[in-house]
Amino acid sequence: MLNVGLQVQIILGRSRMPIAQLLKLTRGSVIELDKKIGDPVEVMINDRLVARGDLVKLPGDRLGVSLTEIVKDYVSEE
């Protein structure tokens, strides 16, 4: 059970841009996101929303997430 791989993502925000602009991005480029500081971030596991939380600063210029909400299983009504 410990060898099961999971894809974990923290969604900091979203942005839309033309492909031409995307191809011009380089290391250090800044992308404006649709969320502001203080807005909750989303925690996704295997492309499924499982939690929300707040970004926290850790020692050594590292970031972490303090979980504030665990999302209940989504049940479709199909």
Q: Residue 52's closest CA among 75, 74, 32, 72?
A: 72
Instruction: For residue range 7-46, list pLDDT tens digits in order.
Output: 999 988 889 999 999 999 999 999 988 877 778 899 999 9
pLDDT higher than threshold 90 for residue 3: no
Classify 8-70 by CATH class. mainly beta
**pLDDT higher at 65 or 17:** 17
CA-based nearest residue to 55, from 34, 37, 33: 37
- The strand pair at 41-45 and 8-11 is best described as antiparallel
Task: Judge whether 13 and 34 are in contact, CB under 8 Å.
Answer: yes
pLDDT of residue 12: 84
* Domain residue ranges of the chain, discontinuous segments joined by +: 8-70
Query: Exposed (0-12), middle (13-18) or buried (19+): which is 52, by Cβ within 10 Å?
Result: middle
Quick check: 49 and 74 in contact, CB under 8 A?
A: yes
